[in-house]
Amino acid sequence: MKITVVGTGYVGLVSGACLAEAGNDVLCLDLDADKIRLLDAGGMPIHEPGLQEMVARNRAAGRLRFTADVEASVAHGLLQFIAVGTPPDEDGSADLRHVVAAARAIGRHMDGYKVIVDKSTVPVGTADKVCAAIVGELSARGLQTGFAVVSNPEFLKEGAAIADFMRPDRIIVGADDARAIELMCQLYAPFQRSRERLIVMDARSAELTKYAANAMLATRISFMNELANLAEKLGADIEQVRRGIGADPRIGHQFLYPGCGYGGSCFPKDVQALQRTAAAAGSPLGVLAAVEAANETQKGVPGRKIAARFGENLAGRRFALWGLAFKPDTDDMREAPSRVVIADLLARGATVCAYDPVAMSEARRVFGAAPGLVYADSPLAALDGADALVIVTEWREFRSPDFDEMKRRLKTPLVFDGRNLYDPAQMRAAGIEYCAIGRR
């Protein structure tokens, strides 16, 4: 099947590569000529495990190409996937300018039946706006041709996006056009050979499903974080509580791990956007307002724990920090808790020596030449002469360190663990003071 993907950001590039991997003829469009040149040269604008190899493999097979030519991209695909960014506007609502612009470009150049697929995360009602934009362009051209708009939200986890696309939990298709639904079923058939995963619904329900899913996951995280803070006050152990409630099949164990808050490009943005949608509909979501507030508070927990231990004035203190990305297996630092933790420490006069396996370049871009912030070449190197270690991201390489070497390098054998990586009893036995989230 001939497919056009508009946008080569995270969603567009992963979707295009995975669709090509299934044998489709995919053309990815991006108006950023520099990005197209990078991709054509075999480079990668994002970090995602396995993506560079998949892109190279499908480019070599001729199934995946990149272009900045809008007219050629519209002519290519019977299915036109819109996978452009929807950044938060000033009021927290999703900015749909790029989505609508992509729809207009399709309407400006199409000359036959097309299925326009909204892959971007968009508010309820966006399919109607995309439809109106295309109708407007066709009318201006005096052209009458059939088309359909489909909502097909992505459910990709950064760091596991290829597995999520190739082996999806569910495939949501929001449409009422029988031909478009049949084409979507054909497209996704290779991704659901073991069992039916495709769920057809109306476009508005599909759009709400995406926001509802992310909002539910964010709610679980904030609830566990607040419960962890309470456990500390009560002398309970949140890890034991987590295991106890997770054993209930109605609850399960996923997304019950407390820490120093969620970040990234999805949860913060989508929680805000759903709140704005609800408020505009006259049905505000008080639960999500609390989720967002709890998350922002939680990002400050490591800084407050450090200040409680060393005092508010941290001048002359040096802290090692492990983890800059908002989660493992990505270099994404958007809304990352590390940004708050570093800002807190620097504001109190401390020096921070940070390490991350892949996000160091992104950190340099985010922080610039921030006074007091330096970077280490390895986790152990970051520890040298530090008053304490602060763990912010749960990278696998942080899970089983040499605790004797850690103790030897640190000026004070003290760890502030924002991700609860270690067993408190093991840390005590190693002679390391251990401050985790909700642990005794």
d(CA 348, CA 307): 9
Strands (E), 216-264: none
Residue 131 is a catalytic residue: no
> Residue 325 corresponds to which tokens in the numbers above?
């990305």
Angle at 336 between CA 376 and CA 319, to 5 degrees: 35
Backbone angles phi, psi at 306, to 5 degrees: -65, -45
The active-site residue out of 18, 28, 260, 266 is: 266
Q: DSSP code of 86?
A: -
Give dist(CA 224, CA 233) in Å, integer.
14
CA–CA dist 9, 156 (Å, integer): 13
In contact, 301 and 231? CB cutoff 8 Å: no
The end-to-end CA distance of the chain, in Å, is 57
Tokens of 179: 């031909």
Q: What is the C-alpha separation between 66 and 8, in angstroms, rounded? A: 9
- How is residue 385 written in tokens? 């002469």
Distance, in Å, from the CA atom of 48 to the CA atom of 42, rounded to the nearest integer, reads 14
Identify which of 214, 230, 224, 287 has the alpha carbon closest to the alpha carbon of residue 261: 224
Partners of 30 in the β-ladder: none
Cβ neighbour number for residue 360 with a 10 Å cutoff = 17
Residues labelled catalytic: 266
